[in-house]
Chain A
Amino acid sequence: MKINVEITKMALVHNPIKIENLNEKKLVQKMVLRRRLSRSSKILINLAHECEFETGVMIYGSAYGEITDTVSILQAIKSGEAVSPSTFQNSVYNTAASYHSILHGNKYEILTLSCGDETSYNVAQQGALALLKEDSVFVCCVEALNFQGVDNFNKCGVELEYGVAFVLKKSDKTATDKVGDAIQNGVPASLTWMKNLYDLCEIRKNVVVEIEL
């Protein structure tokens, strides 16, 4: 079953090491909440703001989730230190999406996927499924990989912070565009499909793509 989808908003942020200005002081004015945010959460909140999304169905994806907090927990256990409760609370894969919901009081369905290299395509599939019942859906994928020891794994020069987001809407128009499968230097494999969609939308206006559920 296929759904035709058009993109009404989109946003992209990335940096080889650390994204400089995520505007979190303006976007998250409560300091007590801002101080708890993981890097993924800050990236997601920034992308959602750029897409003018506050409440509604959100489908979020990340292949490695909150890996910085995961590494902190593992290091604490290995060295016999106490695990920080707030680090543990922040270590689940749905942390970023949850903080966004707390920030904006979003009580709609929020789903988090983690599907390796297929993550961003699977998130889009899930977004398309949601469009059977919703007028629009916010889909977003983030990788925040700037953790101690990342050099042992990052042999291909993937940028350590990367996020891409769209607001999708169901379309009655014929799908005229296909998202390429080109692998791009520096883009985490999990985000490749969405980055290719983003690039397509940069070149053409009113992109409509067909997504198989």
Chain B
Amino acid sequence: MNKVYVNATSIKSVCGNTEETFEAIFHKRSGLAIFERIVPNKRICIGKIKNKTSFDALLYESVNEILVKSNLRDFSNTLLLVGSSVGGMASTEEALFKDVKYENIDIQKHPINAIASALNQKYNFFANRSFSTACTSSANALKVAKELIECGAYKNILVVGADEICATTIFGFNSLGILSDEICTPFKHERKGMNVAEGIGSLLLQNKRYPDSIEFTGAGTSSDAYHIANPDPNANGAISAITKALNDASVNARQVNYINAHGTGTQANDAAETIAIQSIFSNETFVSSSKPNIGHTLGAAGAIEAIICVEALKRQLLPPQINCERQDKTFNIVQDAASAKIEYALSNSFAFGGNNVSLVFGVCHEN
């Protein structure tokens, strides 16, 4: 079975490009902002990328960055896997809200695969597939990429997680009463909810190892089979996904030094994830959520937060969490960026429908 390596990464987030996003995360800065006029009579805190010409332009920038950082001349031998929860919804909304005429909607730009189509047109990938499992979309794409490289079906796979903010997600999460009016406070008693945001995370996975490679060692998935939107309060699904990921990576819980939590800041998610983490890991494992920095990027979250784990492993630096000063005394939340020996890092993603994905990344050893 082939090993799988993360050899190039790129982020576009409310905090900026890849380096700017890492700077924001390690220095506890947030790119989220308060908007007074999007939802009538309500203040919301969300993440809109400033000064973007178009979301497609950001996608191209992200993929270009991968090409520059990689050993590839082009993507003709690379499989593209995209994870997104809303695809081209923003394009549909723009056309529909302008004049309420359906005929002005470009139906090719609406679905999930609109992102893959735009990228494929520009870069001519070997083939492409798109996954949509709400907030685990790109985490699932990563798991599939890992399996395809392990079995020898592909040598190069680019995984892109991308979601553009749109009225559907803002008003939709508002209807559930879980949009916060301030920067979210995952795992805190006084939590007020989540911050929906847009973002892009791209990872080049390959079967070859290079000096700065990080190994993608484990992936696990499960279904809650409990509720269409709420997680199983006993966290059985989350526990199952984490356990499968650890088994796939052939590591035990004590070997995982850092967890990038799903950590949305909603009562239901935080409660279930707390149970899952506490039931598997000791208080020696550090935990943080990056959502107070970059918001909940929905289908892109799995890819972006996987990249944060990869960067933590490269820097041997624990990513801290904003707004964690008075957290539940449940587990070891990273207060400030701190050097640490990080052998393995785990990223959690949970979604509507009770879809759970956990991913494990590790530093490369000699053999």
Contact = CB atoms under 8 A, between A and B. Distances in A.
Do the two shown chains form a genuine complex with each other?
A: yes
Interface of A: 1, 36, 63-65, 70, 73-74, 76-78, 80, 82-85, 88-95, 97-99, 101-102, 104-116, 118, 122, 125-126, 129, 132, 149, 152-153, 213
Nearest to A70: B168
Given A91-B172, A153-B102, A97 B225 contact: no
B225 A104 contact: yes
A74 B175 contact: no
A110 B128 CA distance: 20
Nearest to A110: B223
B1 to A, nearest CB: 10
Interface residues of B, number: 61
Given A1-B153, A82-B175, A116-B117, A105 B129 contact: no
Given A64-B110, A153-B107, 17 more contacts: A1-B151, A1-B153, A36-B228, A65-B132, A77-B171, A83-B174, A88-B172, A92-B134, A98-B352, A98-B353, A98-B355, A102-B354, A109-B221, A110-B133, A114-B132, A116-B111, A149-B102
Contacts of B225: 101-102, 104-107
A112 B132 contact: yes
A102 B176 contact: no
Contacts of A85: 175-177
B309 interface: no
A110 B85 CA distance: 15
B131 interface: yes
A111 B140 contact: yes
Interface of B: 40, 85, 87, 89, 92-93, 96-97, 100, 102-103, 105, 107-108, 110-113, 116-117, 128-134, 140, 144, 147-148, 151-154, 167-168, 171-177, 221-229, 236-237, 240, 351-355
Contacts, number: 167
29 contacts: A63-B111, A73-B171, A74-B92, A84-B175, A85-B177, A88-B176, A89-B176, A92-B133, A98-B353, A99-B228, A101-B353, A102-B228, A111-B140, A112-B131, A113-B129, A113-B130, A113-B131, A114-B132, A115-B116, A116-B113, A125-B129, A126-B144, A129-B144, A129-B147, A132-B147, A149-B102, A153-B102, A153-B105, A213-B148
A111 B144 contact: yes
Contacts of A78: 96-97, 100
Contacts of A90: 228
A137 to B, nearest CB: 13
B353 A95 contact: yes
Contacts of A77: 93, 97, 167-168, 171
B129 A122 contact: yes
A92 B111 contact: no
B218 to A, nearest CB: 14
Given A88-B176, A94-B133, A105-B225, A73 B240 contact: no
Nearest to A121: B129
Contacts of A115: 112-113, 116, 128-130
User: What 5 A-B pairs are tightest by C-beta distance, nearest first?
Assistant: A98-B353, A88-B172, A93-B132, A114-B112, A213-B153
B288 to A, nearest CB: 27
